[in-house]
Amino acid sequence: MTYEETGVDQTIDRLLREHPGLDAAADGALDDLDQFHIGGADAVDRLIDSLDLAEDESVLDVGSGLGGPARQIARRTGNRVTGIDITPAYVDAARDLTFKSGLHDLVRFRAGDIAAFAPDPPFQAAITMHVQMNVRDKTAWFAHIARCLVPGARLAVWEVCGPSRADPPWPMPWSLDGTDSFVVTADSLHASIEQAGFTTTEWTDETAWVQTWIAETLGGGLPAGPALPMLLHDGYTRVVNYATALGDGSLQVWRGSFTRDAF
């Protein structure tokens, strides 16, 4: 199974000790380490504007991983962010990195399944980045997100799709062998989100942007560290396979913004 890493926070501590000049509280200092999606911090910036956050509005990050997007939103906007993730080791690491970043007053994390989450009060906005590939019933999953939001709330997504049912090379960042991967076409994913109770504001193929980002970011080689692949089983192979599949058209990345329908 994917996402079975343990002791992630201890590994991060070791990597940070090996780079004593790195200030974890500095804007962008951890971008190579805590952004568990293609496009890194730049991709998060592409979502923030569509959240259209007002002062004191709260944001839910579904599948928050190591917490990079949640911290970035809080740092950029000053809004409070709650992340939820099913992997306890990631949540522990996200909490530790948030404290190291000095953002623990704005950002918090919880371990659990969105299906069992009942926030009170609900959130005014949400994001999810590179999560639904592990979800078989996507309509039900997005409906769980909708249930956590007020009517009219904004949802921003950054997700992997496939133009066909082609089998990409494994392992990938979200699956070691494909048995827990449920990648669908962009049309199918879009329909599932709308069926779950959302109205589309924008649905855009960002694959070309991602290919440019990969060329600019990884053109000189993979990051020396501290970097995300160092935390994952066979991490560098997974990153290379993903970049290859995006380059040859086996996979795509789509960005969407939506509003929560009235109950």
Q: What is the CATH number of the domain that holds 183?
A: 3.40.50.150
Q: Is residue 19 a part of any domain in this protein?
A: yes
Between CA 232 and CA 142, with CA 207 as vertex, the angle to 5 degrees is 70
For residues 104 and 28, which has the higher predicted lDDT (pLDDT)? 104
The whole model's pTM is what?
A: 0.95
Average pLDDT over residues 160-189: 91
Integer-rounded Cα radius of gyration of the chain: 17
Average pLDDT over residues 171-179: 94
Cβ neighbours, 10 Å, residue 147: 17
Q: Name the least confident of 9-23, 34-48, 179-193, 213-227.
A: 213-227
Q: What is the pLDDT of residue 1?
A: 55
Cβ neighbours, 10 Å, residue 116: 8
Q: Is residue 3 a part of any domain in this protein?
A: no
Q: What is the pLDDT of residue 165?
A: 67
Q: Is residue 1 a part of any domain in this protein?
A: no
Q: Is residue 109 a part of any domain in this protein?
A: yes
Please provide the DSSP assignment of 160-212 as one string: EE-SSS----S-BTTBSSSTT-----HHHHHHHHHHTTEEEEEEEE-HHHHHH
Position 161 confidence tier, pLDDT thresholds 50, 70, 90? very high
| 3-class DSSP state of 58 | strand
- Whether the predicted pLDDT of 222 surpasses 80: no
Q: Is residue 2 a part of any domain in this protein?
A: no
The beta strand positions in 40-188, using DSSP E, are 58-62, 80-85, 107-111, 123-129, 149-161
- Whether the predicted pLDDT of 164 surpasses 80: no
Q: Which residues pair with 128 in a beta bridge?
A: 62, 157
Gap between the Cα atoms of 197 and 262, Å rounded: 8
Is the CA virtual torsion 30, 32, 33, 37 positive or negative?
positive
Q: Which residues pair with 158 in a beta bridge?
A: 129, 255
| pLDDT tens-digit series, residues 134-159 | 999 999 999 999 999 999 999 999 99
Q: Is residue 131 a part of any domain in this protein?
A: yes
Containing structural domain, residue 233: 8-260
Total number of domains constituting the chain: 1
Mean pLDDT of the chain: 93
Between CA 71 and CA 28, with CA 86 as vertex, the angle to 5 degrees is 20
Q: Is residue 105 a part of any domain in this protein?
A: yes
